[in-house]
Amino acid sequence: GLILGVSYLPLPLEIKIASVIFVTALIYPFIIKVVNVIVESVGMALYAGAMFALVYLLINYLTLNNIRNVALLVIFLEVIGIEMLHHIMERFRIERGGKTYLITGILSVIFFIASLYVFLPIGILYAALLSAVLTIVFVYAILPERPF
């Protein structure tokens, strides 16, 4: 039904393909409830395909004419990417370890620098404070949760 409905939309083929991949990646965890290696592999493939399609479309259809636009794109892709990973791969939502904290630290530094570039026009002090607060919220959002 999804592919048939998308085929009638007056959009370019690349947008149709990307939307089918993205929607399939979003609904995949709700449809497939079995957890094994094959299901996780298909989930990771859908995640990679959806992120690649999203990055491809954003780069092709957005004009990135200054550093602030690039920084906003980096922030958007980080948030969408990590939240989609948590949505598709339940294991990454609850596992804690050294690698998780290392990746969280690296992503947080990238997020802080990108948000600093975005908020720089309001002044360096206010930009640093606002970026620090938003980075703390970002870290809290992407750290693995404790299972219930």
Read off the pTM. Answer: 0.79
Name, of 78-82, 90-94, 98-102, 141-145, the range with top average pLDDT: 78-82
48 against 5, higher pLDDT: 48
- Grade residue 93 by pLDDT with cuts at 50, 70 and 90: low
CA dihedral of 64, 65, 66, 72, whole degrees rounded to 10: -20
Distances (CA, A) of 91 to 95, 139, 147: 6, 18, 10
Residues 112-119 have a mean pLDDT of 94
Distances (CA, A) of 81 to 52, 75, 127: 10, 10, 24
Can you give the pLDDT at residue 52?
Answer: 93
User: 17-75 pLDDT, tens per residue?
Assistant: 888 888 888 888 888 777 788 888 888 898 899 999 999 998 888 888 888 989 989 99
Give Cβ neighbours of residue 35 (< 8 Å, ≥ 6 apart). 90
Can you give the pLDDT at residue 4?
Answer: 64
Say which amino acid occupies 40.
E
